[in-house]
Structure 1
Amino acid sequence: MPAYDDLLAFQRTTEALAQVAGRTGWDQEAIMPRGAAPQRAEEMAALEEVLHARRTDPRLGDWLHEAHAKDAVADANLRELQRSYARNRKVPAKLAAEIARVTSLAQGQWAAARAAEDTAAFLPVLSDVVRLRREEGAHLAEGGDAYDALMQDYEPGGSAATMAAMFDRMRPRLVALRQQALDAAPAPHLSGHFPKAQQLALAQEIAAAFGYDFDHGRLDLAVHPFSSGSGMDVRITTRVDEADPFNCLYSTIHEVGHACYEQTVDRAHLLTPIGNGVSMGVHESQSRSYENQMGRSEAYCGWLYGRMRDVFGDIGVASERDFYRAVNAVHSGYIRTEADELHYNLHVMLRFDLERALILGELEVANLEEAWNARFLSDFGVAVDKPSNGFMQDVHWSVGLMGYFPTYSLGNLYAGCLLSALRGDVPDLDASLANGDPSPATAWLGERVQQFGALRTPEDTIRQATGETPTEEPLLTYLEAKFGDLYG
């Protein structure tokens, strides 16, 4: 199969260069000096020019035409390469490089404006990002729905209509359950001082217990936690609030879920088109499984309560049960990444509707903050007090990730399906979690999902792991049982 072999050899270099670009992005958000931003933007644009040229090289078309799949791995590689080649040929090289340059600059400007609560400083660059992504979406859609076209970068085969229908089915039960919880007695909350160094040491301990391999990764600080890389170099970040250790610990567990997915992909697929996670929906199913179904379970919270008392002393709650309630407290907070499981998907629905309206030209950036604040008040019953608690809280729009947000809820849906199958296969799961050992669950996810990378399509990945077609029902049933117990 000379055509297939030539294709994979060429693509190996492209995949390696893409990893370099990703690591450059990690450096920008984690340790780059702020004054380097203008130069870094030019570097990112230059890398994107090289990558775009390789991804649209005419030889790819010839090889794809001549190559034939000899097995499932070759078939999947050809599927992913064909999708990438078709997509990138629609986008002009100059536009691809300009998006890379502007979003690189925008990330730093967003971080500075967010810290200063300065909307006016952020809107001009956000307008540039939205303009460029609209243009890219129009090229990709070729007369169709531009938002759907952008979604394919994060969830191949997904569509706004499918997501909207999913949200319509989920919203009534989520809202009803939320109201019942809010009407009940409030949950306890932690109190005290939680020093940064001790939080980070505990975060590293927990990350290792969840299977994160520090020989092929590292934990750093960032404004917005994220995971970056694949294969043999997968890095995570977290953030620290000395009054709220849950922010650090659960952000770390979440990002470990992403990172373990990438670290567990079969090394035979390294630097090939299927050598990473198949979609952001499936990726989020891993991070949400680690964070919520394991990390916020009553069994694990019992262990974590004792460990946190060892590290921090008195933490303001008197029992394992109260700690479990504090970890899962339901409240209408501003911040998506700190939201309880009932509010989380409502946060995503807000962002999905607004970013879709931005891309389709139904909402302009100048009116975004007002639209956000009005929608938040309507959905959560709380008035936004400052931009960092509102439309400027997430990094996604500044770096052009329009079409990404709905995959968070899709990941929750997938995680609900996986939990149902996992508990059937690992009946003593709670006993292990109660000892601070999530390895039976992480091993099951590694075997059923993570090792395959992008060998299968997103939905088929979950179907093969669970034996069922994914729906929202297992997630909603899990939430009703969990919060019904917590709040009576």
Structure 2
Amino acid sequence: MSYEDLLGFVRETEALSQVAGRLSWDQETVMPRGAADQRAEESAALSHVLHQRRTDARLEDWLAQIDDAALDPMGQAVMRHVRRDFDRTRKLPPKLASDLARLTSRAQGIWAEARAAGDFAAFAPTLAEVVRLKREEGAALSAGGDVYDALLADYEPGTTAAELDAMFGALRPRLVALREAVLDRPDPGGVSGTFDETAQLAMSTKVAEIFGYDFTRGRIDKAVHPFSSGSGADVRITTRTAADDPFNCLYSTIHEVGHATYEQGIDDAYALTPLGQGVSMGVHESQSRIYENQLGRSRAFTGWLYGQMRDAYGDFGVADEEAFFAAVNRVQNGFIRTEADEVQYNLHVLLRFDLERALISGDLEVADLEAAWNERFEKDFGFAVDRPANGVLQDVHWSVGLFGYFPTYTLGNVYAGCLYGGLRDAVPDLDDRLARGDLSAATGWLRENLQRHGGLRPPRETIELACGMVPSEGPLLDYLEEKFGALYGL
């Protein structure tokens, strides 16, 4: 049994996994509402097939017989991923895997309807069943260890909740202090008017292109919750529009383009192997957040963007480039994580991290989740949640079983802060380029130093080698304090 045989088998499995992802994309974009139950069965069947392949007895033989030391770095990395995936998947009972796929496919539609109706009680029984199965999954994977850590490993291998808790604990005091100082200053104001949806989508397409998104291998559609899906030659993104807020569409698109160009930028030699996709969600978020924030919300880029907005919409209530920069980076109270400014965004994530850990540990039950969310939100942000769609029902993640995903958003921000320092050192004329709407040097540096490597190295090593430093929260905090201190005259 040879490495080539193993690689052929793995490529077929990865291809089927891409098909499963395409089913999910279809469900959130164009699937007829009446197809939900059938789609749940389709997803469950495909999940069962994937589980069988990932626990196939031949994998154990290949892993035992192939000499990793005789392989090149790509082969060694493939073996590392296959071994880890095999060890994890065979701990999971096949019925549990298919039950989870079936339930979470159905739960997504139930969540969407409950969110639209503002009725958490309509979703709570389904969420309780999701939590029950995720606890069961975590217990099976952890084999007596920490159940939440076992789930977190699906999104950020090599990181523990205790490590994240320490990092987040270091973030919180300076974030809270900055938030309080900024909100004590005069509000710079925002845009005004009604923004045509067609024009918003056209602007998003244009910006996606200059950020390097390849439309010959991708497309933009609308969804309730923006996301990116796929890898290699088929990487799709979604966005959303609001008639009174063009930034919602614009920056959702830039964020998802960060994810998508990571996938599109991976070395073609890694396609349909475990290396052919982002190495972790934290690293993935580093790309979406640096695209969206350090680049897309920079003073230099917003100066260029202001002219584009004027051409598209005429007068929208902002006098000049400086006022536009302030409007784009406006810090104000709000409920929605995905719409939050850079200062407050991570506080939204930390709330979810603490609540989902409590759900998985059993310290919090779904019946008490809405009250716990509302209490924590008012404590952290100083005002009360007005309706479930702005609170516990705003995110899709728990409905589809993504427990352990939320903390990777803040970890991605931390990674982005580190990468931004390396990028500025490498591209000294970055601001001049951004002011012309030229993202090529920035995205090219990220592609060369991080994106093309895919899953070749472990997550933190990927970041460390790209930016030349051990990742820590310090660069992110320094960046935020410098940017918003200057913007608000602190």
Q: Deviation per CA, 1:44-92, whole angstroms, max 9, x where unpaired?
A: 0000000000000011011011112311111110000011000000000
Aligned position for 1:235: 236
Q: State how far apart, in whole Å, the 1-side matches of 2:297 and 2:468 are.
A: 25
> Is 1:414–1:470's contact at 8 Å kept on the other side of the alignment?
yes
Aligned position for 1:244: 245
Aligned residues: 487
The answer to whether 1:325 aligns with 2:326 is yes
Q: What SS does the aligned partner of 2:221 have?
A: strand
The answer to whether 1:214 aligns with 2:215 is yes
Q: State how far apart, in whole Å, the 1-side matches of 2:196 and 2:132 are.
A: 43
Q: State how far apart, in whole Å, the 1-side matches of 2:297 and 2:29 are.
A: 27
Q: State how far apart, in whole Å, the 2-side matches of 1:114 and 1:313 are.
A: 35
Aligned position for 1:432: 433
The normalised TM-score by structure 1 is 0.99
> Is 1:282–1:411's contact at 8 Å kept on the other side of the alignment?
yes
Aligned position for 2:28: 29
Q: Deviation per CA, 1:425-473, whole angstroms, max 9, x where unpaired?
A: 0011111111112111000000000000000000000111011111111
> Is 1:107–1:395's contact at 8 Å kept on the other side of the alignment?
yes
The answer to whether 1:386 aligns with 2:384 is no
Q: State how far apart, in whole Å, the 2-side matches of 1:175 and 1:358 are.
A: 25
Which residues of 2 match residues 460-475 of structure 1 at below 5 A? 460-475=461-476
Q: State how far apart, in whole Å, the 1-side matches of 2:188 and 2:87 are.
A: 52
Q: Output the amino acid matched with 2:60.
A: G
Aligned position for 1:142: 143
Q: Deviation per CA, 1:315-366, whole angstroms, max 9, x where unpaired?
A: 1110111111111111121000000111011000000000000000000001
> Is 1:188–1:323's contact at 8 Å kept on the other side of the alignment?
no
Q: State how far apart, in whole Å, the 2-side matches of 1:118 and 1:176 are.
A: 34
The answer to whether 1:296 aligns with 2:297 is yes
Q: Output the amino acid matched with 1:39.
A: Q
Which residues of 2 match residues 374-453 of structure 1 at below 5 A? 374-453=375-454
Aligned position for 2:39: 40
Q: Output the amino acid matched with 2:161.
A: A
Q: Deviation per CA, 1:182-236, whole angstroms, max 9, x where unpaired?
A: 0111122100010111000000010011000000000000000000000000000
Q: What SS does the aligned partner of 1:349 have?
A: helix
Aligned position for 1:155: 156
Q: Output the amino acid matched with 1:388.
A: A
Q: Deviation per CA, 1:272-327, whole angstroms, max 9, x where unpaired?
A: 11111000000000000000000000001111111111101111110111111111
Q: What SS does the aligned partner of 1:234 have?
A: strand
Which residues of 2 match residues 236-315 of structure 1 at below 5 A? 236-315=237-316
- Bigger mean CA deviation after superposition, 140-149 or 278-287: 140-149
Aligned position for 2:483: 482
Q: What SS does the aligned partner of 2:330 have?
A: coil
Q: State how far apart, in whole Å, the 2-side matches of 1:172 and 1:164 are.
A: 13
How far off is 1:118 after superposition?
1.4
Q: State how far apart, in whole Å, the 2-side matches of 1:445 and 1:332 are.
A: 33
How far off is 1:3 after superposition?
2.4
Q: State how far apart, in whole Å, the 1-side matches of 2:381 and 2:364 are.
A: 21
> In percent, how many aligned pairs have the same letter?
65
Q: State how far apart, in whole Å, the 1-side matches of 2:304 and 2:160 are.
A: 41
How far off is 1:382 after superposition?
1.2
How far off is 1:30 after superposition?
0.7
Aligned position for 1:9: 8
Q: State how far apart, in whole Å, the 2-side matches of 1:164 and 1:342 are.
A: 19
The normalised TM-score by structure 2 is 0.99
Aligned position for 1:130: 131
Q: What SS does the aligned partner of 1:296 have?
A: coil
How far off is 1:144 after superposition?
1.1
The answer to whether 1:85 aligns with 2:115 is no
How far off is 1:474 after superposition?
0.7
Q: State how far apart, in whole Å, the 1-side matches of 2:266 and 2:443 are.
A: 13
Which residues of 2 match residues 174-193 of structure 1 at below 5 A? 174-193=175-194
Q: Output the amino acid matched with 2:371.
A: E
Q: State how far apart, in whole Å, the 2-side matches of 1:407 and 1:348 are.
A: 9
Q: State how far apart, in whole Å, the 2-side matches of 1:436 and 1:368 are.
A: 44
Aligned position for 2:363: 362
Q: State how far apart, in whole Å, the 2-side matches of 1:375 and 1:31 are.
A: 36
Q: Output the amino acid matched with 2:44.
A: A
Q: Output the amino acid matched with 2:13.
A: T
Q: State how far apart, in whole Å, the 2-side matches of 1:295 and 1:429 are.
A: 12
Q: State how far apart, in whole Å, the 2-side matches of 1:107 and 1:427 are.
A: 46
Aligned position for 1:102: 103
> Is 1:3–1:64's contact at 8 Å kept on the other side of the alignment?
no
Q: State how far apart, in whole Å, the 2-side matches of 1:394 and 1:438 are.
A: 31
Q: State how far apart, in whole Å, the 1-side matches of 2:348 and 2:241 are.
A: 22
Q: State how far apart, in whole Å, the 1-side matches of 2:66 and 2:221 are.
A: 43
Q: Deviation per CA, 1:391-433, whole angstroms, max 9, x where unpaired?
A: 1000000000000000001000000000001000001111111
Q: State how far apart, in whole Å, the 1-side matches of 2:44 and 2:120 are.
A: 26
Q: State how far apart, in whole Å, the 1-side matches of 2:238 and 2:464 are.
A: 31
Aligned position for 2:61: 62
Q: Output the amino acid matched with 1:23.
A: R
Q: State how far apart, in whole Å, the 2-side matches of 1:332 and 1:217 are.
A: 35
Q: What SS does the aligned partner of 2:276 have?
A: coil
Q: State how far apart, in whole Å, the 1-side matches of 2:167 and 2:324 are.
A: 32
Q: What SS does the aligned partner of 1:397 have?
A: helix
Q: What SS does the aligned partner of 1:194 have?
A: coil
Consecutive unaligned residues in structure 1, runs of 5 or more: none
Q: Deviation per CA, 1:158-181, whole angstroms, max 9, x where unpaired?
A: 111001000110111111111110
Q: Which runs of 4+ in 1 moved over 3 A?
A: none
Q: Output the amino acid matched with 1:430.
A: D
Q: What SS does the aligned partner of 1:398 have?
A: helix
Q: Output the amino acid matched with 2:48.
A: E
Consecutive unaligned residues in structure 2, runs of 5 or more: none
Q: What SS does the aligned partner of 2:354 have?
A: helix
Q: State how far apart, in whole Å, the 2-side matches of 1:466 and 1:196 are.
A: 38
Q: Output the amino acid matched with 2:389.
A: S
